[in-house]
Amino acid sequence: MASDGAVGVDAVRADEVRDDAVREEARTWLEEHWHPERPLVEWRHLLADSGWGTPSWPLEWHGRGLPPSMDAVVAREFDAVGAVGAAAGIAMYLVAPTLLAHADADQKRRHLRPILTGEHRWCQLFSEPTNGSDLAGLVTRADRDGDEWIVNGQKVWNSGAHRARFGILLARTDWEAPKHRGISFFLLPMEQPGVEVRPLRQMNGHATFNEVFFRDARVPAGELVGSAGDGWRIALTTLAHERSAVATRRPRYRADGGPTVQQAKQESDEYFATYRWYPQRAGRANLVVPEAVRTGRVSDPLVRQQIARVEALRRISSWTIRRARDARAAGKPPGPEGSLTKLNMSVTARACHAAHSMIAGSMGMLVGAGSNANGVVSEVLMSTPAMSIAGGTDEIQRNIIGERVLGLSKEPDETKDIPYKHARRN
């Protein structure tokens, strides 16, 4: 009888054999099919047909039915030959995983392929201006009218809404039900007269987000995901993937690639340009020491102490992100490491804010040429407060960690078991 150790070795060898087999199969397929002169959409449709663009998706939905750990194995083969993968962005990171988990066959058939190819852009329509962190307290309403739902209300912090063809929408469909049980999840067409998108100008000069107004906007009945009133459960899947998205790497493309690569790079650059200030939002820990040296503050013991704190937090964040990536690669669903990572990123951003403030002093208020890091430091000081809000506030992350990780009692909620129409609201 084999020992436990021998069984472990056999399992490792089996994994290695499987990895090698998938690696070889992907390499062979790429040798036969990758041509960097193809139009990008044509190439991505080929990926959808073959399943190599999303290897861990089910066979019937443009994947190969492989374990999630194989995504990274296949991605390395794509990188080795400079091949382009599936489209990047919110549609792939948030929408597709939610549809795979909860949508019906017709919804998957209509929406997954255009997401993979990049032909359809999406936005997230969850947050509202009157409820802060209490997402379940939303008041945007959807009322059934024959074969359609009529939507009225307002959403906010909707990045990419001005370019989106569809949005994942949370709306209240039952005011007699308690707060969390009267919400439904919709796939809303954005290109219609009842939808108005307005950009929001931020104090750091960027306009990443939008607010979206609905005035008798219409959603076909077939675009309700799951059942009416089941939206909160479905939204939790989206939110879990949103928190774990911090472990998602931006695609890299070769500068000397052919037309397919250049089209993909242009698409990626356009998408990520919306988030070009996000490194400043995270605090730019990599600039703390260079700025301390440049300004001569590196010998100040208080500054050095703050630099040490930034470095410690940066390393913790890096390790936690790595844990999240490894968990996803092993096929585990998004877990508490997402909330831990998100919370630590906020703490790190505040520590960086304090360090940059100590180093720059009053010069931190200046922008443009000649200012600290040519204005980057001032942008850091104006952007880091957003880290504690976006993607779920620090308070929400602490609740999740306390309740789901530490097993503490849930936050008291007097509206939990009463009809929401009678609940006290902002």
Per-residue pLDDT of the chain (426 residues; tens, 9 = 90+): 344 444 454 444 455 557 899 999 999 999 999 999 999 999 999 999 999 999 999 999 999 999 988 998 999 999 999 999 999 889 999 999 999 999 999 999 999 999 999 999 999 999 999 877 889 999 999 999 999 999 999 999 999 999 999 999 999 999 999 999 999 999 999 999 999 999 999 888 888 899 999 999 999 999 999 999 999 999 999 998 887 665 556 788 887 789 999 999 999 988 888 888 889 999 999 999 999 999 999 999 999 999 999 999 999 888 888 887 777 777 777 677 778 888 999 999 999 999 999 999 998 888 888 788 888 999 999 999 999 988 778 898 898 889 888 899 987 877 778 888 888 776
Q: Which of 159, 364, 339 is nearest to 242 (CA)?
A: 339
φ and ψ at 330, to 5 degrees? -85, 0
N-terminal to C-terminal alpha carbon distance within the chain: 66
* Structural domains of the chain sorted by starting position, each given as residue range(s) with its CATH number in brackets: 89-249 (2.40.110.10), 277-392 (1.20.140)
pLDDT at 359: 95
Catalytic choice (211, 242, 337, 379): 242
CB 353 within 8 A of CB 283: yes
The token pair at 328 is 């996803």
DSSP state for residue 402 in the 8-state scheme: I
C-alpha closest to that of 304 among 352, 355, 353 = 355
| pTM recorded for the entire structure | 0.85
**Cα–Cα distance measured from residue 158 to residue 150, given in angstroms and rounded to the nearest whole number:** 20
pLDDT at 11: 45
Q: Tell me how crowded residue 319 is: count the other CB atoms within 10 A of its CB.
A: 12
Residue 173's pLDDT is 98
DSSP result, 30-56:
HHHH--TTS-HHHHHHHHHHHSTTSTT
**Across the strands, what pairs with 345?**
none
Q: Is position 242 annotated as part of the catalytic site?
A: yes
pLDDT recorded at residue 245: 64
CB count within 10 Å of CB 329 equals 17
DSSP 8-class letter at 195: E
**Residue 215: its H or E element:** strand 210-220
- Measure the CA–CA gap between 264 and 117, rounded to whole angstroms: 11
